[in-house]
Structure 1
Amino acid sequence: MSKFIIERNIPQIGTLSASEMQAGAQRSNETIRELGGSVQWVQSYVTNDKLYCVYLGTSKDAVLEHAEKSGFPASRVEEVKTIIDPTTGE
């Protein structure tokens, strides 16, 4: 599967409570199960008004389908081509 970065514009997401975050994660997990393994959620980063998610998926379309069915619209989806880190510069 390919790795994707998803940007979601969700006003005030950074102010949600832990239980609200849990409910959202449960909804995402349920949708992943329904899609039968075409996507896998790796992790998400929460800012004040955006959510940046890392997903593995069989295609960009599969990631977009998850976004639509889960109710978490994707403002932007980009496929990761490579990963670099500090050791890349050594």
Structure 2
Amino acid sequence: MQCFIIERRIPDAKNLTHEQLVEIARTSNAAVESLGVPYTWCVSYVTDEAIFCVHEAEDAETIREHARRGGFPADRVMPVLAEFGPHTAMG
């Protein structure tokens, strides 16, 4: 599977309540189950005006299908080309 970053532009995302995030998570989990193909939702980050999600799937179209089934925006679906962090400095 390939890793993707998904940008979901949601006005005032910063104001989503815990209960709303719980409902979004439940909806996302149900959409994942309905796909019937390998798919992993790794983590999501809420910012002022968007939610950024890290998902793993075979291709971008599967990511978009998850969004359609869940009723979520998927304004940008970007494949991760490389990963690095502090550990990268070790060589």
What is the TM-score with the length of structure 1 in the denominator? 0.94
Point out the more displaced range, 78-87 or 19-28. Answer: 78-87
2:37 is equivalent to residue 37 of structure 1: yes
Instruction: Tell me if structure 2 keeps the 8 A contact 1:39–1:66.
Output: no
- Percent identity, aligned pairs only, is 37
What is the TM-score with the length of structure 2 in the denominator? 0.93
For structure 2, the 5+ residue unaligned runs are none
For each residue in 1:18-41, what CA deviation from the matched residue of structure 2 results, as whole angstroms up to 9, or x when unmatched?
111100110000000000133210
For structure 1, the 5+ residue unaligned runs are none
Equivalent residues in 2 for 1:51-66 (5 A)? 51-66=51-66
Shift >4 Å, 4+ stretches? none
How many pairs does the alignment contain? 90
Distance 1:87 1:23 in 2: 35
Hey, what does 1:27 align to over in structure 2?
27
Distance 2:29 2:37 in 1: 11
Instruction: Tell me if structure 2 keeps the 8 A contact 1:4–1:78.
Output: yes
Equivalent residues in 2 for 1:1-90 (5 A)? 1-90=1-90
Distance 2:45 2:70 in 1: 17
CA RMSD of aligned residues (A): 1.0
- Match of 1:83, SS? coil
Offset at 1:63?
0.4
